[in-house]
Amino acid sequence: MHILEVQDLAPEAALPALQGPGTNALVHTPFGFEELGAEAALPALQGPGTNALVHTPFAFEELGAEPALPALQGPGTNALVHTPFGFEELGAEAPLPALQGPGTNALVHSPFAWNA
């Protein structure tokens, strides 16, 4: 199964469409939570305090500013984490480091949620 590659994301960048069955996300912006259905294009993530709840096959993971996040479990699970210092790409089943500072965002994809 092909995993959709995530490239060139910035804090205020429009994100590519999430594709495939069961893909959902709750995106928290400074203005509140937005629920996005399957295959919806995510709006831009803007400003400090932007967080996301991303649905993986396992659970909704809250990806907020500054908490230490538990390991993402399951084959093919990857994360791209944006910190104030840039993006870090984390491999399968890697524990996520603490996200620190304003404007910290994260995107998580699994082979079940992000596929083309």
Q: What is the pLDDT of residue 32?
A: 38
Q: What is the pLDDT of residue 40?
A: 34
44, 12 in Cβ contact below 8 A?
A: yes
Compute the half-sphere exposure of residue 46: CA atoms within 13 Å on the CB side of its CA.
7
Q: What is the pLDDT of residue 22?
A: 38
pLDDT digits (tens, 9 = 90+) for 24-71: 344 433 333 344 433 333 333 333 444 444 433 333 344 443 333 333
Average confidence (pLDDT) over 82-99? 39
Q: What is the pLDDT of residue 77?
A: 38
Percent of the chain with pLDDT over 90: 0
Which amino acid would we find at residue 61?
E
Q: How confident is the model at residue 109 (pLDDT cuts 50, 70, 90)?
A: very low
Q: How confident is the model at residue 88 (pLDDT cuts 50, 70, 90)?
A: very low
Residues written for the chain: 116
Query: How is residue 33 written in tokens?
Result: 């939570």
Q: What is the pLDDT of residue 113?
A: 32
28, 52 in Cβ contact below 8 A?
A: yes
55, 24 in Cβ contact below 8 A?
A: yes
